[in-house]
């Protein structure tokens, strides 16, 4: 027997924000500012750095040479920011677009119940590097695949439940349930009602002369609304007990009403 131990998830770095102060609310814009600022700093330092290398003092500090080095530093910083946008920015943008697509698909699927709008193929992000960007894209792809697999399992369970419910005869179920109930409790009459889409329907009754009015009676409606066991205080010869129980898959609730005297059950107050 092989013992497989899952590796612990990596701990996120929380101190990276202290490396450099944030200048704006956009990371790439901060990077551009730092790059251009660093280029400007190099342009300012360069004239003084070339003097020890043999460049004449009056030439190195000439305004035209000074301006040229500053311009060169700014140009290098601008080119670096463009390279960052072309190499890193486009990949981050692709990842952000895919995340927004998944977000929209989840919102629509929650409302419509259709989860096919974002499958792993359509929401897949290309992975073309082995660094942190590649790991982020690969993690996103695995997340989408896990989400799709989860919904496939849920859809399969729902399909099985619907298939079972489609072949389930409530009448025979009610008959056997009520028969077993009367045997085990010794009651004289019972009725089984189901609540589906807010409507109460009579499924079956046993020992009750006329159970057609039970679904609309206040006694049953109060039990359905409260989802609590009720004992109604009626004349001494009648005791009615109502409760809400999960009985059938695909049906919201079931209401069981038990009576001691079937002859008086017809006179249940409405």
Q: Of the segments 17-21, 134-138, 145-149, 225-229, which one has the largest average pLDDT value?
A: 134-138
Q: Are residues 145 and 43 both part of a single domain? A: yes
Query: Percentage of the chain with pLDDT > 90?
Result: 12
> Per the domain annotation, does 84 fall within a domain?
yes
Question: Helix axis angle, 27-50 relative to 63-84, nearest 10°?
Answer: 150
Of 137, 161, 185, which closes a domain?
Answer: 161
Nearest alpha carbon to residue 105 among 81, 122, 125, 89:
122
Q: Are residues 100 and 133 both part of a single domain? A: yes
For residues 26-64, one letter each, b for 16 or more C-beta atoms within 10 angstroms of the residue's C-beta and e for the rest, the string is eeeeebbebbbeebbebbeebbeeeeeeeeeeeebeeee
Name the more confident of 210 and 249: 210
> Per the domain annotation, does 13 fall within a domain?
no
Q: Are residues 28 and 60 both part of a single domain? A: yes
Q: Are residues 183 and 155 both part of a single domain? A: no
The number of folded domains in the chain is 2
Average pLDDT over all residues of the chain: 74
Cα first-last separation, the chain: 66
pLDDT of residue 240 exceeding 80, the answer is no
Q: Are residues 219 and 103 both part of a single domain? A: no
pLDDT of residue 236 exceeding 50, the answer is yes
- Mean pLDDT (whole number) for 190-204: 80
Q: Take residue 89 and report the two structure tokens written for it.
A: 């920015």
Task: Evaluate whether 22 touches 31 at the Cβ level (below 8 Å).
Answer: no
Of 143, 161, 179, which closes a domain?
Answer: 161
Task: Give the per-residue pLDDT at 264.
Answer: 34
Of 161, 186, 211, which closes a domain?
Answer: 161
Q: Are residues 119 and 95 both part of a single domain? A: yes
Q: Are residues 25 and 106 both part of a single domain? A: yes
Residue 243: pLDDT band by 50, 70, 90 thresholds? very low
> Per the domain annotation, does 11 fall within a domain?
no
> Per the domain annotation, does 68 fall within a domain?
yes
- Give Cα 196 distance to the centre of its chain: 27
Query: What pairs with residue 201 in β-bridges?
Result: 194
Q: Are residues 151 and 187 both part of a single domain? A: no
Task: Evaluate whether 230 touches 222 at the Cβ level (below 8 Å).
Answer: yes
> Per the domain annotation, does 5 fall within a domain?
no
Task: Give the per-residue pLDDT at 262.
Answer: 38
Task: Give the per-residue pLDDT at 259.
Answer: 38
Q: Take residue 269 and report the two structure tokens written for it.
A: 């107050």
Rg (the chain; Cα; Å): 37
Q: Are residues 156 and 254 both part of a single domain? A: no
**Residues 94-150: tens digit of each pLDDT:** 888 888 888 888 788 777 777 777 677 777 888 888 888 888 888 888 888 888 877
**Which single residue is written with the structure tokens 């660093």?**
38
Q: Are residues 149 and 178 both part of a single domain? A: no
Task: Give the per-residue pLDDT at 204.
Answer: 81
Residue 221: pLDDT band by 50, 70, 90 thresholds? confident
Q: How far apart are CA 194 and CA 249, in angstroms?
A: 11
Which residue range forms the structural domain that includes residue 134? 18-161
> Per the domain annotation, does 252 fall within a domain?
yes
> Per the domain annotation, does 155 fall within a domain?
yes
Q: Distance of CA 188 to CAs 16, 39, 57, 221, 260, Å?
A: 75, 95, 116, 22, 5
Q: Are residues 151 and 27 both part of a single domain? A: yes
Task: Give the per-residue pLDDT at 79.
Answer: 93
Name the more confident of 166 and 193: 193
> Per the domain annotation, does 8 fall within a domain?
no
Query: Percentage of the chain with pLDDT > 70?
Result: 70
User: CATH number for the domain including 261?
Assistant: 3.30.450.40
- Give Cα 50 distance to the centre of its chain: 61
Task: Give the per-residue pLDDT at 1.
Answer: 39
Q: Are residues 181 and 157 both part of a single domain? A: no
Q: Distance of CA 115 to CAs 82, 110, 120, 154, Å?
A: 39, 8, 11, 11
Task: Give the per-residue pLDDT at 165.
Answer: 61
């Amino acid at each position: 027997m092989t013992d497989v131990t899952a590796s612990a998830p990596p701990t996120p770095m929380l101190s990276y924000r202290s490396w450099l102060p944030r200048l704006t609310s956009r990371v790439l814009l901060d990077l551009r500012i730092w790059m251009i600022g660093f280029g400007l700093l190099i342009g300012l330092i360069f004239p003084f750095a070339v003097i020890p290398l043999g460049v004449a003092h009056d030439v190195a500090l000439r305004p035209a040479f000074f301006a040229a080095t500053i311009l060169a530093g700014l140009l290098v910083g601008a080119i670096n920011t463009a390279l960052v946008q072309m190499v890193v920015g486009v990949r981050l943008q692709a990842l952000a677009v895919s995340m927004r697509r998944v977000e929209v698909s989840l919102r629509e699927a929650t409302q419509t119940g259709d989860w096919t709008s974002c499958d792993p193929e359509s929401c897949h992000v290309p992975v073309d590097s082995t660094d942190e960007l590649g790991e982020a894209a690969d993690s996103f792809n695995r997340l989408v695949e896990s989400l799709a697999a989860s919904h496939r399992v849920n859809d399969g369970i729902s399909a099985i439940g619907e298939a079972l419910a489609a072949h389930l005869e409530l009448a025979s179920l009610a008959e056997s349930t009520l028969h077993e109930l009367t045997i085990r409790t010794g009651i004289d009459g019972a009725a089984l009602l189901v609540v589906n889409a807010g409507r109460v329907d009579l499924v079956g009754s046993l020992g009750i002369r006329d159970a057609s009015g039970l679904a609309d009676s206040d006694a049953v409606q109060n039990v359905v609304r409260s989802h609590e066991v009720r004992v109604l205080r009626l004349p001494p010869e009648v005791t009615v007990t109502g409760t809400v129980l999960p009985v059938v898959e695909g049906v919201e609730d079931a209401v069981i009403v038990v009576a001691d005297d079937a002859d008086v059950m017809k006179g249940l107050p409405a």
